[in-house]
Amino acid sequence: MPPAGPRSGDAIFASVERVNAELFTLTYGATVRQLLTDLEEVEEVNKQLDQMGYNIGIRLIDEFLAKSNVSRCVDFKETAEVIAKVGFKMFLGIAATVTNWDADGTCCSIILDDNPLVDFVELPDTCQGLYYCNILSGVIRGALEMCLGRDIAPYLKIVTDTQYLAFTKVSMKTEVTWLRDVLRGDDAYELQVKLLKQVPEEYPYKDDE
């Protein structure tokens, strides 16, 4: 079957099971508050939120690839765009834009005008230094690192004589940092995504047919 083109984030969001965002927002808020109580150090909370996001990202990428019909994610630029445009929409119901690409296409900004994580949130002064939404940077980092391995059909190289397929996996190691944060007084949320290295792997793949 020929691969259909990527589906729009709106179409996927309309078709997935959705829940009341209050539950999500309040659960995240309660988790952050509990982490602040348990860990005391704001820096440590930032680290844990990022780690939680990373673990979520490496799992969500499968659902993302399956539902979005995104068949290739080898090129960093294209992948960042599709994660921002389709990924944010299909999971959080919000639009994200990608901008500020550097000349060699290895660094960009993802900008969110709207962010369900922060509904009802006001940070007390004691939380200075907290990146409240740090889970999001972790999710992006995790997703990009695992953005491979599944349905990357256009990149399959058919080696007919052995009936084996070989394809290239590319794991994108990134560094994701907050440049702007509304909770810190900025006018939008801006995440800088910097590609540190791409790790290609040759992978033998048995053709079942």
Interface residues with other proteins (CB under 8 A) are: 13, 16-24, 26-31, 33-34, 38, 48, 51-52, 55-56, 59-60, 63, 90-93, 114, 116, 118-120, 122, 135
Smallest separation, CB 92 to other proteins (Å): 5
67 close to 16: Cβ distance less than 8 angstroms: yes
* Sign (positive or negative) of CA dihedral 135, 137, 142, 143: positive
Report d(CA 74, CA 51) in Å as an integer. 24
Smallest separation, CB 1 to other proteins (Å): 25
Report d(CA 136, CA 141) in Å as an integer. 9
Smallest separation, CB 161 to other proteins (Å): 39
Report d(CA 130, CA 41) in Å as an integer. 9
Q: Which of 51, 84, 50 is nearest to 68 (CA)?
A: 84
Smallest separation, CB 185 to other proteins (Å): 14
Quick one: 123 or 165, whose CB is closer to other proteins? 123
Quick one: 21 or 199, whose CB is closer to other proteins? 21
Smallest separation, CB 24 to other proteins (Å): 5
Quick one: 90 or 108, whose CB is closer to other proteins? 90
Report d(CA 38, CA 107) in Å as an integer. 35
**CB-based contacts of 60: which residues, under 8 Å, 6+ apart?**
91, 139, 142, 143
| Dihedrals phi, psi of 142, to nearest 5 degrees | -65, -45
Quick one: 38 or 175, whose CB is closer to other proteins? 38
